[in-house]
Structure 1
Amino acid sequence: MVLSRYFLLIIGFSLMLLNNHTLSAKQFNVLLFTKTAGWHHQSILEGVNAMKVLAEKHHFDYEWHEDANQFNPKNLERFDAIVFLNTTGDVLNDEQQKAMEQFIQSDKGFVGVHSASDTEYQWLWYKQLVGRMFVIHPAIQTGKVDVVKTDFPGSSLLPNSFLWTDEYYHFSEPYTRNLQYILTVDESTYEPAAQWGNVKVSGMGDFHPVSWYQEFDGGRSFYTALGHLPATYQDAIFLNHLYGGIYWAATGKGF
């Protein structure tokens, strides 16, 4: 009888520990990738710190890496979303690219921040994943950003329009037809013209998107062009925008 009670106590204690572990488990796990093979943004460290704040506030796990060897199938199984934060240039080799493709195809998510669209120009699948690619930008300026889609986690807490200071990218034409646009910038509120050598633009016109999302190749992709300046990563508007995109990319849950 005493022995039976002892085993019952052990089983009960084990179940209690298991239940507590389940209750304390994090929502999801994110791979934060900041490798650069070109321009290195000064805001990367602030972005990493912002991810720490978001992870603590919203109860998820993340790992920060600049080592492309993290991109192998076995390792990527541990994550629910990959965040490219101010990456630039060619950052993954062919095998690592294949691992990332398989990751997205397994119903996982991608988040691109700012110069993620200035990354991997020779990889067509990646350009389709991001949706549009960076072409050129004018000087850093303040402009009016408008929310054009409110029923998305990355925009639901934002004001309908707000003044924002950033490096407003001029983008290529879209690489997919699936893009759902979230934010646009009003070019009448800043000077959009820019010229770098033979590349010259006057702006994108009446419709200048700066954030969007899509379902792509079995998974999900969210992109925001905001995030050039270090101070951005302490701004509540941006942090709400970024977390909403991460949440949707990692879970597929929306409104």
Structure 2
Amino acid sequence: MAATPALLVYTRTADYRHDSIPAGIAALRGLGGSRALGVDATEDPAVFEAPLDRYAAVVFLSTSGEVLTPAGRRRLGAYVEAGGGFVGVHAAACTEYDWPYYGDLLGARFDRHPALQPGRAVVEDHDHPATRHLPAVWHVTDEWYDFRTNPRGRVRVLVRADESSYDGGGMGDDHPLVWCRDQGAGRVFYTALGHTAEIYDDPDFRAHLLGGITWAAAR
């Protein structure tokens, strides 16, 4: 009998640690259960030094800093290149600054954010499992991440931030917030949302996460 496919949810932090991580794990366990996916949540970098083939996708849930060993970096890169799915949530963009491949994999790296506040997220592309359920303008309270570079042109942008709807944005009119891309034979999905514990109880955000994971894991 084949093993049940699973998600590997990685939450190791070597820099800022989000209080919302337990809520995120609980939400992912619930989503996994709805799709008969086991969820292995860990902060042990040794998990990346073993084969990752049984995982439908690897999720970096608000990781931060340098969280992988050199061997783990090689294993994760090989997994994605061979067709594995990778999902980054929120502070996943604040991770592995010393590993150039990771920045290319994710599409952009975190730069800064203003204060936590409500704002508007504009859905650019409804033809994706992570966004097809969302309204054209999605009202969200979060940290509105700015990125060191604009990933547009290297990624498929799904949602952008409307900087006129909140204070302190630094990227201007073109501010990607959620995107996806191919990497080798694998798929990568990233959402900058996910700062608060409360957002993981929001049905729209949970469907957003499930859609991103489903898409990334499709190969």
Specify if TM > 0.5: yes
Task: Answer yes or no: is 1:219 the counterpart of 2:219.
Answer: no
Letter in 2 for 1:95: A
- Mapped partners of 1:131, 1:162: distance in 2: 23
Could you tell me which runs of 5 or more consecutive residues in structure 2 were left unpaired when the two chains were aligned: none
61, 66, 91: which one aligns with 1:115: 91
For 1:165, what is the secondary structure of its paired residue?
Answer: strand
For 1:80, what is the secondary structure of its paired residue?
Answer: strand
Letter in 2 for 1:227: G
- Mapped partners of 1:222, 1:51: distance in 2: 15
Deviation at 1:207, TM superposition (A): 1.1
Corresponding residue of 1:207: 174
Corresponding residue of 1:82: 58
128, 131, 141: which one aligns with 2:117: 141
User: Is the CA contact 2:130–2:211 (under 8 Å) kept in the aligned structure 1?
Assistant: yes
Larger Rg: 1
CA gap of 1:137–1:207, structure 2 versus 1, over 3 A, is same
User: Is the CA contact 2:150–2:176 (under 8 Å) kept in the aligned structure 1?
Assistant: no
For 2:121, what is the secondary structure of its paired residue?
Answer: strand
- Mapped partners of 2:7, 2:126: distance in 1: 25
22, 37, 52: which one aligns with 1:60: 37
Corresponding residue of 2:18: 41
Deviation at 1:176, TM superposition (A): 8.3
Corresponding residue of 2:213: 246
- Mapped partners of 2:153, 2:171: distance in 1: 18
Deviation at 1:220, TM superposition (A): 0.8
Deviation at 1:204, TM superposition (A): 0.7
User: Is the CA contact 2:6–2:38 (under 8 Å) kept in the aligned structure 1?
Assistant: yes
Pairing 1:66-215 to 2, within 5 Å after superposition? 66-74=43-51, 76-174=52-150, 177-193=153-169, 203-215=170-182
- Mapped partners of 2:34, 2:24: distance in 1: 15
CA gap of 1:157–1:140, structure 2 versus 1, over 3 A, is same
TM-score w.r.t. structure 2 length? 0.95
Map Cα deviations across residues 6-57 of structure 1 (whole Å, 9 max, x no partner).
Answer: xxxxxxxxxxxxxxx67xx75x321000000010100000001001110122
Map Cα deviations across residues 105-142 of structure 1 (whole Å, 9 max, x no partner).
Answer: 11111000000000001111100111011000000111
Deviation at 1:61, TM superposition (A): 1.7
Deviation at 1:72, TM superposition (A): 2.0
How much is the aligned-residue C-alpha RMSD, in angstroms? 1.5
Letter in 1 for 2:183: F
Deviation at 1:180, TM superposition (A): 0.2
Task: Answer yes or no: is 1:228 the counterpart of 2:199.
Answer: no
Map Cα deviations across residues 187-213 of structure 1 (whole Å, 9 max, x no partner).
Answer: 1111125xxxxxxxxx11111111000
Deviation at 1:59, TM superposition (A): 2.0
Aligned length: 219
CA gap of 1:176–1:129, structure 2 versus 1, over 3 A, is farther
Runs of 4+ in 1 over 2 A off after TM superposition: 174-178
- Identity over aligned residues, as a percent? 39
- Mapped partners of 2:198, 2:59: distance in 1: 19
- Mapped partners of 1:167, 1:90: distance in 2: 22
